[in-house]
A = this chain, B = another copy of it.
Amino acid sequence: MGIKERKEKHKEDLRQRILDAAKELFLKDGYDATSIRKIAEKIEFSPTTIYLYYKDKADIMYALHQEGFKLLSGQFLVLQHVHEPFERLKAMGRVYMNFALNNPDFYELMFIMKEPIEFVKAHCQGEEWEEGEQAFSSLTMTVEHCKAAGYFTKFDTTTFALNIWSLMHGLCGLKLQGHLDHMASTKVELFEGGDLMEVTFAGFVKMLEGLK
């Protein structure tokens, strides 16, 4: 029964090719410009064929959304080798920041846009999600370790982690949206201190150190 398997594989192959084409378009031109028709053209199939492999556009975008989380999780994983917890926390901030800067479209898809998470709510009932939760638990664990090392002792771990995530997410959002650059260009005195995102992050680290 090798023939059935080969067909299965071919089918899985095409599903992957669709995703690859979508990814290429997405990373080049962003969400809106990634149309079903353009994906179809790239893989040289008719547009409707795509609907045999993915439920709809949101389904494709959700698949990319997952890829993004794998990418970020992988980058976080490396940091487990930084033993000093506060150093690791700082490094996580850097990684998160750089991920947003280097993969702005992924970042948008993962943390800013509504579509993919609404797809989760609608079609992936309850469980799943793994990647995202894993990334957040990396953070809470690091905060926990920091507490053991004498940092943030007065604070609840989860609440503190959420504060850190909020700040980093907000910073990335303001940067990607252009608000930070806009402020740097109008408020001249801000421009002197170098990149506003970098300066703000440095300020945040200083703030965290102040909570030892």
Which A residues are closer than 8 A to B by beta carbons?
A: 111-114, 117-118, 120-121, 126, 129, 133, 136, 154-156, 158-160, 162-163, 165-171, 173-174, 177-180, 182-183, 186-187, 189-190, 196, 199-200, 202-204, 206-207, 210-211
Contact = CB atoms under 8 A, between A and B. Distances in A.
A152 to B, nearest CB: 9
A179 B117 contact: yes
Copy number in the complex reads: 2
The A interface, classified by DSSP as helix, strand, loop or mixed, is helix
A167 to B, nearest CB: 4
Which are the 7 A-B pairs with shortest beta-carbon distances? A170-B170, A159-B203, A166-B170, A169-B170, A167-B167, A166-B171, A162-B200
A189 B126 CA distance: 16
A189 to B, nearest CB: 8
A167 B173 contact: no
Contacts of A179: 111, 117
